[in-house]
Chains A and B, each alone.
Chain A
Amino acid sequence: MSKLRFGVVVFPGSNCDHDTFHVLRNVYGQDTFYLWHKDHDLNNADCIILPGGFSYGDYLRSGAIAKFSPLMKELQEFAHGGGLVLGICNGFQVLLELGLLPGAMLRNKNLKFLCEHVHLKMENDQTPFTNQWQENRVLRIPIAHFDGNYYASSDTIEEIKTNDQIVFRYADREGRITEEANVNGSVENIAGLVNKQRNVLGMMPHPERASESLLGSNDGQAIFKSIIHHLTHSLNYS
């Protein structure tokens, strides 16, 4: 079986680029390469990952300056053409700023940076990112962010729900969606969502930090293995 091609975008200030690269290449054994934000070439990637970090220091708003990077033009075309795009943490924030996903991020409700393992309930296994899901499993994956308090207007939320776009919600370890489990104050406990076409996923938790048992959790594998499964089998979710 030939390897899939994963492109990891590097913005100035990205800092989970090496982690994502390491995991895709050494844990999942895929053909992985960096994509420099100033370039105009996606290098025939099958899947593009916008990694976590502090692109441009998060100085204006998280992801706000990165969206003007030259490479984002090609990324948008790729996404509109159905290519798989995964935005993790800061990558999710960039996808929101780009308008590839609906909504925006506010400061965490406790106004502090939060780094810890959280539990996620998977709400939709009919996406390229979650098809390898095991029934009723609750995932334990770390978060690390200051601006992860997801916000969208009530109309947008209605639309997201009607289209089944919510993929992950913050939950307790039994998978119950509670106020207490909502670490950062997100609307509807939203931790990750896809676009209507299901080919773009943004999520605040870091699946690359939960891909090796030595680090305390393997649960991020569900996401990467789903992507690999989807791409090797060209699945259809409509």
Chain B
Amino acid sequence: MKIRVLVSYKDSVLDPQGQTVRNALLTMDYDFVKNIRQGKVFEIEIEALSDERIKQVIPELADRVLANPIIEKFTWEIIE
């Protein structure tokens, strides 16, 4: 099984990397770009687990390790 976890800064936290990418795009005349938030993607291959167990452990590991809850939030999905 494969799980994808997306970690990004909370909306309240300034994201200078995202802003820099946005500015670069604007100077290249992609002037329709309004905002960019940069984040991290984790693709995690796991043994097959029950739905219930996945719903418990994935948010747990994302919260404990992959994201720092002070500045980051995450979402996750099963991709395979």
- Give the residue among A97, A109, A151 with the most B Cβ atoms within 10 A: A151
Q: Which residues of chain B (20-34) have a CB below 8 Å from chain A?
A: 20
B50 located at the interface, meaning its Cβ lies under 8 Å from any Cβ of chain A in the complex: no
With a cutoff of 8 Å between Cβ atoms, the chain A residues found around residue B46 in the complex are none
> How big is the A interface, by class?
10 to 19
- Please report whether the interface of chain A is mostly helix, strand, loop or mixed according to DSSP: loop
Once bound together, how far apart are the Cα atoms of A64 and B17, in whole Å? 20
The docked-state distance in angstroms from the alpha carbon of A61 to that of B68 is 8
* Complex Cα gap A189–B35 (Å): 27
**Does A106 sit within 8 A of B, measured CB to CB?**
yes
- Which B residue's beta carbon lies closest to that of A149? B16
Q: Specify which chain B residues have a CB less than 8 angstroms from the CB of A96 in the assembled complex.
A: 70
Of A65, A68, A107, A152, which is in contact with the most chain B CB atoms at under 10 Å from its CB?
Answer: A107
A43 interface residue (CB < 8 Å to B): no
What chain A residues lie within 8 Å of B71 (beta carbons)? 104, 106, 151
Residue pairs across A and B with Cβ atoms less than 8 A apart, 20 shown, are: A60-B65, A64-B68, A65-B65, A68-B65, A96-B70, A103-B70, A104-B68, A104-B70, A104-B71, A106-B9, A106-B16, A106-B71, A107-B17, A111-B16, A111-B17, A149-B16, A151-B13, A151-B71, A152-B70, A153-B12
**Interface on B for A, CB 8 Å cutoff?**
9, 12-14, 16-17, 20, 65-66, 68, 70-71
